[in-house]
Structure formats: structure tokens, C-alpha cells
Structure 1
Amino acid sequence: MYCGDDVSSVVVDIGSYHTRAGYSGEDCPRSVIPSYVGLYDSQGEDVEMIDAGAVSQSRRRLITGSAELAFKRDAMEIQPLLQGDGIPNFDYLEDILRKSLIDGLMINPKETPMLFTEPPIHNKEARLRLTEFMFEKFQAPAIFIGKAPVYAAFSCGRSTAIVIDSGHRSTTATPVHEGFALQKCIIKHDIGGQYLTQQLQQVLEKERKIEIAPRYSFKKKLYNNNGTEGFDIMRLDTAGVHPSYANWCKEELVRDVKEEVLYVNEDPIDERSMETIRSTQYELPDGTQVTLQSERVALTEKLFLPNDKLASGGFTGIHHMVVESIGRADIDIRRDLFQNIVLAGGNTLFKGYLERLQRQVPEISPQNVKVKVVSGGGGGSGSTSGSERRFSSWVGGSILSSLGSFQQMWMSRQEFEEHGAIMIERKCP
């Protein structure tokens, strides 16, 4: 047991797009970095190997962090932290945690208890490996691992709720009852922010024939022509850029466009009605003007009225996920779940998302239940604050780990040495 009212701890939320870290008791994480690493061959400099800490003969180098990844290096490959099964690459995780905890928060991991979030679907192998990793590699004094939707519910003061968490790669519907994620009721579909980004990128590149020029591929030069100022665009040589880095940088630009101009129509909308949508313009970094009209709602409409390809995979819409997941829960708690639908994750931040769900869930719900949708992270109904939903799992973990009553819940290093990693299954069910 590791306890004490004055325990200073940190919260780490490892997502498929960002890794967030910060101090328990604070409102938002202080460190937010990409859940990606860059791999490249250094030229003539002594570098450390990823795993051994010795000078590498192959001079293969790993870098992390937003600023570092934004700097183009020849043949630098971009790799995601999380693998297809949701288990992190632990070589990459070590560097990302060092960047977040030591460089970002400036803490000593050997002296700081750490609370981690994990996906809602229980993965024993993943949590055992994380437990071993933190105690053996970082010499952590204590850790705790809990389900992200449970924390998201806590972030808005609820111990019972159904949490719709839509992030970069996937969307899950998770009923939470008295602080526990109901495993048999969880529904997951691999549709999230990345899907919409890629769909928009396809519209721009293939349908509109627009060249998406990453920031590293050009240089702006200011000119003044008889008092008229502007920029000339000079294209740069990109022959040495690795395809994975080029794709990652393009997705970053398209993601910005997506977040700026797309929204969810509050009512279902057909193709004819989409023609009445007001057009908007977006200027890419190289000055290219992008005009979007029907696409502003057509892409997000797939979240509620999926196309044939999505439907063939079993996805019938976010509102159907809510009702189906609640229907799998015990009948005695369904009313409470309908009244506490919590939104979490960056992909729920589109304007109109909350309102659309609030309108469509009652249409397919039992007539005698009240439906209420709220924003995770402490927001109420109708709240659109980005930090509230984007960081809701982190915020809930921050609240929980700062409570005096929680301090006896930590799994200590002594317990790990006596019982092994399997103890995490007892301490963090």
C-alpha cells in the first residue's frame, strides 16, 4: 500500500493521437505531445540507442515532441505509439514518457506516483506489461491504471453514465455503473477523427485536385510591388522526405481544415438540402484557397447516417451505439444511463454534435425515459469548450487521484516486488 494525504502524483492519458500528462488536482494537462515518434539515421553524430543507452553503430535515432517532429529530416519515418491492438510499442513509450514527464513536467519518476488511463475494453496483457514497464524501467514508487470512460464520467461528477468517447481512431460507447465500466455492454467501432480527416483529404486531393503542400515543402518570401505587399511561394526540394512523414504532415494540415470548417447539422440532412449549406473558405499555409460547402456537413453526417461501406461493418450511427449499449445493461440502471450520456474525445467537438445526439437518441429510445446529453470534463448540456471534452478522461483522473480517500488505492512498488505485476488486477479491477 502506498498512501498519505500529501502524495504528489501525476496523471498520464495515452491516446492514439496525443499523450497528455499533468499534475493531479489541476484542471488540464501541462504536457500534450503527439503519440508518434520520428525515426531517422543521424549523420556523423554520436547518438544513444533506443533500448541500450549506448552509442549506436547504425546511428538510428528516435525523436518525440511537437516541435521536434515538425522539423523535417531526410528519410525520417513517422511511427505511431499505439499498435493495432492498442498495446503501445514500449521502446517508443519510454521516449514519449521521458519527454512528457521529465522534460515537460520536470518530475523525477522514481519519486512520483502515476495514474494511467486505459481503453474501456479490458486488456490484461497490456496492463501487466505497463505495470512491469513502469516499475522496472522508471522505478515508479506507485501506479494506478483505470478505464478512461470511468474517468470521463468522474470529470462531470457522475459515477453512473454512458460515455461516448470518440477519439482519433475509434468511437466507444461504455456504460459506467458506480465507477465500473460494464465490459459486456461496451460497443466499439473503428471510426473517429482520423477517418473524417482522411475522407476530407480525399475530397481535396482527388475530387478538387488541390495540392496539399506541407509547411516543409515551401518557403514564403515577402515582396513589395509599388506599395502592394504579398508573398511569393518558393517550392523546396522534398526528394528525401519519407512517405510516412509526408502523409503525417498532410493529415495535420487537413485536420486543421476539418476542425475549422466542418460541423454537424442538428437534424438529419439529405443531399438536396446540403446544396443550401453556406460555403466557407479556408486558406492553406501556402496561400491556396479552399472553398467548402456541402462537404461541411456531408462528412460528419456519416457519423449518424453511415454510408454503405460503414454500415457493412456494423456501424449504424452514434445514436444507435448509445441505445444498443444501454440495452445490454441491466434494466434497473438503464434510466440512469439515458439521463447521463457523457461526451468525451476530440471527435465530439464539432459544432452541433451534442445537439444532434440529444435530438436523435430519444427518437429510438423507450418513450418513458428522459434523455440528457452532457459534455465531459465538467461542462453541462450544450457546453462546447474544447478542453472539457478533449481532456475529460485526464481531468477525471486528476480529480480522482487528488482525493485523500484515493491514496490507499495505489499499487506500490513493494506490492509489485512481493506479488508481481498480476497484483494490478486486484488493485485496479
Structure 2
Amino acid sequence: MVDSIWNHAFRECLLIDPKEHPMLLAEPSSNSQQQRERTAELIFEKYNVPALFLAKNAVLTSFASGRATSLVVDGGGGSTTIAPVHDGYVLQKAVASSPIGGELLTDCLLKSLESKGVMIKPRYSFKRKEIQLGVFQTVDLDFPSTTESYRLYSQRVIASDIKECVCRAPDTPYDESSYSNIPMTPYELPDGQTIEIGADRFKIPDILFNPSLVQTILGMDNFVEIASSARGLPQMAIESINKCDVDIRRELFSSILLAGGTASMQQLKERLEKDLLEESPQAARVKVLASGNATERRFRWLTTEKWFWGFALEIDVLKY
């Protein structure tokens, strides 16, 4: 229940009384009217806040960059959402979403490494690293009660760090033959094992542009159907803009904003701009913008997109 999360945030983290603070809630652009009404009912009746304002994530992102009109590309963990904003309002009819997000990319990288014989050892499974008889090895620990889900979670955390450190969007659409001989990039795992990552550095990020690449990764059979129906970022952006009024399309093409953790992928901005220039109308002036560089956005604890008014909470999904 979402109220349990809010109780923990108010009482344990923020250490405040909600009755004393106005509240700003940042919500997804896809939230329905029923979800908004249920949220307001819960906030007012259970927490007795003096004031409440519900704001769309895309609107806050657009305002944070100093623009009232823009196309916001929000790459999250579970999905990617593209929302056009005009004069401070989300054009709901033109919102596009895809199930391809950062978590799916992490799973693809993990499965790809496993298919090549690379086994990622969770951090909790060894005590220390040491050298015995000139051989580097780890002193393992035994946790018999550890669940399979926690083991997988621990592996995905490491795979996510690999993705963020060495992966980058390719300059051109990924092709197996073109990237088969690229230089390898080393990455040291927590247990001291150094692995070499080659074509996967470019193949995994390119799934955002070509979701059908998921079908080429062993162990991702459960996601083949999802990927086959998904669209790439450039296609989603153009479709979203084409659903808007003709008068604002040119302004949307020139104000495409990247937001979210997945959007901080290296070279993603340049690749998206290049593809849009090729597929957009000739009269359109395409400009993709991102606040700060990729490293700065990756480690930013609280972005300017989350306005502070009393306090702000971001809700990715509201389910009751």
C-alpha cells in the first residue's frame, strides 16, 4: 500500500508532521483521473495536509529547464515515457510509452554475460579477497537461508553498475559484424575478477533504439513478445509530435528534453538527435537537450525537476 510508504517517509525519514506542511506530489503523465482523486482523498483525509498540488513529472522537467513547451523523454527503470508539454500542460493524447527501460537493459546485460561464461558473484557471498600461492581468489561465505530473489537482486545491482560505467549508445545502428572486432573494455567485479566487455557495450544501449535486439540475447525469451511490440525512441518521439497540433510541432522538435536515469546513458543524446534529424521533416530544427553532463546527472541526488515546496514526493506508480 502506498500509504505505508508515505508513513515511512513522513515519520522515519523526514521526521515531520504532515499537518504542518503543504505537499507537492510529482506524478506520472499517464495517471488517470481516478488515481488523482484517490491520491487527493488519501492525502487530505488521512494526513490532513493544509494544501496539495499534483504536478506531472514532464511539466516539472520542462519548467526546470526554463521552458513552458517541450517534448520530455523520461527514461526510467521500468519504462520510457515521452510526453509533449505545451504552455505548462501535458498533451495527454500524445503521450507515448514503452516497456523498454533501464531494468530491462540490466537484465539483457546480465544474461548476455552469463551466456559468455561470466558468472557474477554477489557481494554477500564472499568475505574478502586474497592471494594464495600467487593466485588471486576469494574467501567465500555460506548463507544457506539466502533466497534466490535476493541473489538475483545482488547480481543485478552489479550488472547495473557495469551498464552505467562501460556502456554507451552506438553512433550508428548496431550491427553484429561491424562491432565484432572492437577493443575490449575491462571491468573489475567486486570479487576481484576482471572481465572484458566488447560488443555488449554498444548492443545493450541500442535496444532503446531497436527493441528487436532483445531476441538475439540468450535467456530473454520471456521478453521477446514485449520487445517485438515496442518502438524505438526516435519513432516514439516523432509519433508523439505528429499527434500534436501543427502549430507547435516545430517548437517541440527544437526542445526535446532528456530526463531519468536511463537517459543519462553515454552518447544517448547525440544518437537520438542524429536519428531524429534523419527521420524528421526537413523543415524541422531538431535539438535534444540534457541538464548537465551524463556523469553529473547520474550522481545527482536531488534534481531541479523535483521542486521543494514544504517537501516533495515523487510517485512513479499509484496502485491501491
Q: CA RMSD in A?
A: 2.5
State the Cα distance separating 1:299 from its structure 2 match. 1.1
Q: Does the alignment pair 1:173 with 2:82?
A: yes
Kindly indicate whether the alpha-carbon contact (under 8 Å) linking 2:264 and 2:297 is maintained by their aligned counterparts in 1: no
State the Cα distance separating 1:221 from its structure 2 match. 5.5
Q: Deviations over 1:227-285 (max 9, x none)?
A: x8x97522222221122222222211111111111110122232111123221111111
State the Cα distance separating 1:90 from its structure 2 match. 2.0
| Secondary structure of residue in 2 paired with 1:267 | coil
Q: Deviations over 1:39-58 (max 9, x none)?
A: xxxxxxxxxxxxxxxxxxxx
Q: Deviations over 1:334-359 (max 9, x none)?
A: 01100100000100111110000111
Residue 173 of structure 2, aligned match among 258, 268, 274: 268
Residues in 1 aligned to 2:285 and 2:299: alpha-carbon distance in whole angstroms = 23
1:292-371 maps to which residues of 2 (within 5 A)? 292-307=197-212, 309=224, 313-371=228-286
What letter matches 1:287 in structure 2?
G
Kindly indicate whether the alpha-carbon contact (under 8 Å) linking 1:346 and 1:386 is maintained by their aligned counterparts in 2: no
1:195-214 maps to which residues of 2 (within 5 A)? 195-205=104-114, 207-214=115-122
1:34-73 maps to which residues of 2 (within 5 A)? none
Residues in 1 aligned to 2:125 and 2:107: alpha-carbon distance in whole angstroms = 20
Relative to structure 1, the CA distance from residue 322 to residue 221 in structure 2 (aligned partners, 3 Å threshold; closer, same or farther) is closer
Residue 297 of structure 2, aligned match among 369, 387, 400: 387
Give TM-score, length-normalised by structure 1.
Answer: 0.65
Residues in 2 aligned to 1:95 and 1:338: alpha-carbon distance in whole angstroms = 41
Give TM-score, length-normalised by structure 2.
Answer: 0.85
What corresponds to 2:48 in structure 1? 139
1:209-224 maps to which residues of 2 (within 5 A)? 209-220=117-128
Task: Specify every segment of 5 or more residues in structure 2 that has no aligned partner in the other structure, as ranges.
Answer: 216-223, 311-320
1:105-120 maps to which residues of 2 (within 5 A)? 105-120=14-29
Q: Deviations over 1:173-230 (max 9, x none)?
A: 111000111110011111100000000110122x1222222111110055698xx8x9
What letter matches 2:30 in structure 1?
I
| Secondary structure of residue in 2 paired with 1:274 | coil
State the Cα distance separating 1:163 from its structure 2 match. 0.5
Relative to structure 1, the CA distance from residue 134 to residue 160 in structure 2 (aligned partners, 3 Å threshold; closer, same or farther) is same
Kindly indicate whether the alpha-carbon contact (under 8 Å) linking 1:346 and 1:390 is maintained by their aligned counterparts in 2: no
Relative to structure 1, the CA distance from residue 92 to residue 106 in structure 2 (aligned partners, 3 Å threshold; closer, same or farther) is closer
| Secondary structure of residue in 1 paired with 2:178 | helix
| Secondary structure of residue in 2 paired with 1:107 | coil
Residues in 2 aligned to 1:141 and 1:153: alpha-carbon distance in whole angstroms = 27
Q: Does the alignment pair 1:154 with 2:70?
A: no
Residues in 1 aligned to 2:243 and 2:108: alpha-carbon distance in whole angstroms = 32
Kindly indicate whether the alpha-carbon contact (under 8 Å) linking 1:149 and 1:181 is maintained by their aligned counterparts in 2: yes
Kindly indicate whether the alpha-carbon contact (under 8 Å) linking 1:344 and 1:389 is maintained by their aligned counterparts in 2: no
Relative to structure 1, the CA distance from residue 312 to residue 194 in structure 2 (aligned partners, 3 Å threshold; closer, same or farther) is closer
Q: Deviations over 1:18-76 (max 9, x none)?
A: xxxxxxxxxxxxxxxxxxxxxxxxxxxxxxxxxxxxxxxxxxxxxxxxxxxxxxxxxxx
Relative to structure 1, the CA distance from residue 190 to residue 175 in structure 2 (aligned partners, 3 Å threshold; closer, same or farther) is same
Q: Deviations over 1:56-113 (max 9, x none)?
A: xxxxxxxxxxxxxxxxxxxxxxxxxxxxxxxxx3254235423xxx444443322121
Residues in 1 aligned to 2:257 and 2:279: alpha-carbon distance in whole angstroms = 18
| Higher fraction of helix | 2
Relative to structure 1, the CA distance from residue 92 to residue 254 in structure 2 (aligned partners, 3 Å threshold; closer, same or farther) is farther
Residues in 2 aligned to 1:247 and 1:187: alpha-carbon distance in whole angstroms = 31
Larger Rg: 1
Q: Does the alignment pair 1:240 with 2:149?
A: no
What letter matches 2:120 in structure 1?
I
Residues in 1 aligned to 2:298 and 2:184: alpha-carbon distance in whole angstroms = 29
What letter matches 2:277 in structure 1?
P
What letter matches 2:207 in structure 1?
K
Kindly indicate whether the alpha-carbon contact (under 8 Å) linking 2:211 and 2:227 is maintained by their aligned counterparts in 1: no
Kindly indicate whether the alpha-carbon contact (under 8 Å) linking 1:163 and 1:343 is maintained by their aligned counterparts in 2: yes
Residues in 2 aligned to 1:355 and 1:118: alpha-carbon distance in whole angstroms = 28
State the Cα distance separating 1:121 from its structure 2 match. 1.1
Q: Does the alignment pair 1:396 with 2:311?
A: no
Kindly indicate whether the alpha-carbon contact (under 8 Å) linking 1:221 and 1:232 is maintained by their aligned counterparts in 2: yes
Residues in 1 aligned to 2:121 and 2:227: alpha-carbon distance in whole angstroms = 34
| Secondary structure of residue in 2 paired with 1:234 | strand
What letter matches 1:281 in structure 2?
P
What letter matches 2:294 in structure 1?
T
Task: Specify every segment of 5 or more residues in structure 1 that has no aligned partner in the other structure, as ranges.
Answer: 1-88, 403-429
Residue 250 of structure 1, aligned match among 155, 160, 163: 155
What corresponds to 1:10 in structure 2? none
